[in-house]
């Protein structure tokens, strides 16, 4: 994963802290001496050495929204933008437990354990699979030769873009997204040392400087020796408990058995062969980050979800697949507004406009209305 946020770290901090992490190796439940400044912890994350691990991750949301099963979200989309939108909707309404495995950047697996069902995303070299036991359908993609093998990528970060999304974000993935959206637009401080999944950890606290976001703060627990993010808690304004939480419940910093990544579809499964489109120079995702009516000074590009805290994402109507806006979750949760229908929560608002666009952001509804009028 490209860590674009490292450019606002002091240049000398990255190699120094990364070297300490490499020499330390392993993990300990004994809390080490606290770092003297957040830059040291940011550098530790930027150079984190946890390339091999396995564990169990818990995700849960507390936004006042009822739990809605994944099948209510509508059909899977080949659009990475809509796949992300569907994933966000599910993350906001349904708790998940996932098993995660990594052995370097090209051997990755996430198993999301739904009630009486399971979803998998597996990468083994150039072979990438997703599987949904509810539909007994597997999708296979052969990744192009030379596919990025970025150090420190967590399971799912290299999932095939043409395959259905698996609604799970590891703490590493989510932490990297928030850090990519940080920088000068964010106050970064140190919180108290803690322990997550029996691993000693430091705490980074990200507080947006802008008042135009629903996010009050984000707390990231970082494994004290490897730099692997172990938990992420997102706090919404006006709530004392985290609005969204993801954390390792168990973590083993050793290579998983190779058989974990040797995926074979179950007998009788429907198998779909997908082919990734050739990348085009200058091409981007369908969802285009759009500055809010009062954009922050330091909007920055990067990951799909990377943007300033008060910006919004606009998905054009022609990129919204049939059935998405009429899905059960929208019908149940969205309220009529002048510009269309609004799905509102304490942390994220999603506007489905009368002309079919989907506009979303961690911003007040009025910000989405203003963006829709442009």
User: Binning pLDDT at 50, 70 and 90, where does residue 15 land?
Assistant: very low
DSSP 124: E
Q: Which is it for strands 270-274 and 137-142: parallel, antiparallel or unpaired?
A: parallel
* Section 250-264 average pLDDT: 95
Q: Residues 170-207: pLDDT tens digits?
A: 899 889 888 887 878 899 999 999 999 999 999 999 99
Among 155-159, 179-183, 268-272, 307-311, the minimum mean pLDDT is found in 155-159
Opening angle at CA 84, ends 82 and 90, nearest 5: 105
Backbone angles phi, psi at 163, to 5 degrees: -100, 155
Alpha helices in 183-341 (DSSP H): 328-333
Q: Among 15-29, 107-121, 238-252, which stretch is predicted with the lowest mean pLDDT?
A: 15-29
Q: Taking the CA atoms of 323, 328, 330 and 336 in sequence, report the sign of the dihedral they define.
A: positive
CA distance 36 to 17: 13
368 close to 311: Cβ distance less than 8 angstroms:
no
Gap between the Cα atoms of 241 and 230, Å rounded: 18
Pairwise CA distance, residues 179 & 87, whole Å? 20
> Cα–Cα distance between 49 and 77 in angstroms, integer?
34
**Looking at residues 131-136, what average pLDDT do you find?**
90
Q: What is the CATH architecture of 1-261?
A: Clam (2.50)
Closest CA to 174 of 6, 356, 1: 1
The residue ranges of every structural domain in the chain are: 1-261, 288-372
Q: CA–CA distance from 224 to each of 9, 49, 210, 231 (Å)?
A: 18, 11, 30, 13
- Reported as a pLDDT band with limits 50, 70 and 90, residue 261 is very high
The mean of the pLDDT values for the chain is: 76
Contact indicator for 123, 107 with CB cutoff of 8 Å: yes
Would the pLDDT of 351 be above 70? yes
CA distances from 283 to 2, 36, 278, 291 (A): 18, 42, 10, 20
Q: How confident is residue 147, by pLDDT bands cut at 50, 70 and 90?
A: low
Q: Please determine, for residue 85, whether its predicted confidence score (pLDDT) is greater than 90.
A: no
For residue 4, pLDDT over 80 is answered with no
The pLDDT of residue 119 is 86
Query: Is the predicted pLDDT of residue 235 greater than 80, yes or no?
Result: yes
Within 8 A by CB and 6+ apart from 239, the residues are 62, 216, 346
Distance CA 158, CA 247 (A): 20
Q: Which residue has the higher pLDDT, 288 or 185?
A: 185
Tell me the whole-structure pTM to 2 decimals.
0.75
Q: What single DSSP character describes residue 237?
A: T
Could you list the beta-strand ranges (E) of 209-339. 215-223, 229-236, 244-252, 270-274, 288-290, 312-315, 335-337
pLDDT at 131 > cutoff 80: yes
The C-alpha atoms of residue 223 and residue 160 are separated, in whole angstroms, by 28
Query: Per DSSP, what are the bridge partners of residue 112?
Result: 98, 119
- When mean pLDDT is compared across 13-27, 228-242, 318-332, the lowest value belongs to 13-27
- 20: Cβ contacts below 8 Å, ≥ 6 apart: none
* Residue 107 or 8, more confident: 107
At 13, list the tokens.
Answer: 């901090």
Does 242 score more than 90 pLDDT? yes
Query: Mean pLDDT, to the nearest integer, of 312-320?
Result: 90
Query: What pLDDT is attached to residue 265?
Result: 92
pLDDT band at 34 (very low <50, low <70, confident <90, very high): confident
Task: Choose the most confident range, by mean pLDDT, from 153-157, 169-173, 222-226, 287-291.
Answer: 222-226
* Cα→Cα distances 302→4, 269, 280, Å: 7, 37, 17
What is the mean pLDDT of the segment spanning 105-134?
Answer: 88
Inform me whether the pLDDT recorded for 91 exceeds 70. Answer: no
Which of 5-19, 186-200, 238-252, 345-359 has the weakest average pLDDT? 5-19
With cut-offs at 50, 70 and 90, classify the pLDDT of residue 16.
very low
What is the model's pLDDT at position 314? 92
User: Token pair of 164, please?
Assistant: 């259905």
Q: In this predicted structure, what is the pLDDT of residue 224?
A: 93
Q: What is the pLDDT of residue 281?
A: 56
């Amino acid at each position: 994963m490209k860590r674009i946020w490292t450019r606002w770290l002091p240049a000398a901090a990255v190699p120094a802290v990364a070297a300490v992490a490499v020499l330390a190796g392993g993990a300990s439940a004994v809390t080490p001496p606290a770092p003297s400044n957040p830059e040291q912890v940011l550098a530790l994350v930027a150079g984190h050495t946890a390339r091999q691990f396995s564990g169990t991750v818990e995700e849960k949301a507390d936004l006042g929204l009822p739990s809605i099963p994944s099948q209510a979200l509508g059909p899977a989309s080949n659009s990475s933008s809509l796949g992300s939108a569907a994933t966000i909707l599910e993350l906001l309404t349904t708790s998940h437990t996932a098993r995660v495995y990594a052995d370097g950047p090209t051997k990755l697996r996430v198993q999301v354990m739904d009630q009486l069902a399971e979803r998998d995303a597996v990468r083994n070299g150039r072979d990438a699979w997703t599987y949904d036991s509810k539909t007994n359908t597997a999708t296979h993609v052969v990744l192009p030769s030379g596919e990025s093998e970025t150090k420190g990528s967590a399971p799912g970060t290299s999932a095939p873009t043409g395959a259905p999304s698996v609604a799970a974000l590891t703490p590493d993935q989510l932490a990297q997204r928030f850090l990519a959206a940080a920088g000068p637009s964010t106050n970064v401080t140190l919180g108290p040392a803690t322990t997550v999944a029996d691993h000693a950890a430091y705490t980074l606290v990200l507080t947006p400087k802008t008042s135009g976001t629903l996010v009050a703060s984000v707390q990231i627990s970082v494994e004290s020796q490897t730099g692997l993010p172990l938990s992420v808690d997102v706090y919404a304004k006006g709530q004392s408990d985290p609005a969204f939480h993801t954390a390792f419940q168990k973590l083993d910093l050793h290579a998983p058995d190779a058989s974990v990544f040797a995926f074979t579809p179950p007998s009788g499964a429907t198998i779909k062969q997908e082919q990734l489109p050739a990348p085009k120079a200058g091409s981007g995702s369908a969802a285009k980050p759009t500055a809010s009516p009062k954009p922050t000074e330091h909007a920055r590009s990067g990951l799909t979800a990377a943007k300033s805290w008060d910006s919004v994402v606009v998905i054009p109507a022609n990129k919204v697949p049939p059935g998405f806006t009429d899905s059960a979750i929208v019908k149940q949760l969205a309220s009529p507004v002048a510009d269309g229908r609004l799905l509102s929560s304490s942390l994220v608002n999603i506007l489905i406009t009368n002309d079919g666009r989907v506009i979303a952001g961690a911003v007040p509804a009025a910000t989405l209305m203003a963006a829709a009028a442009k």
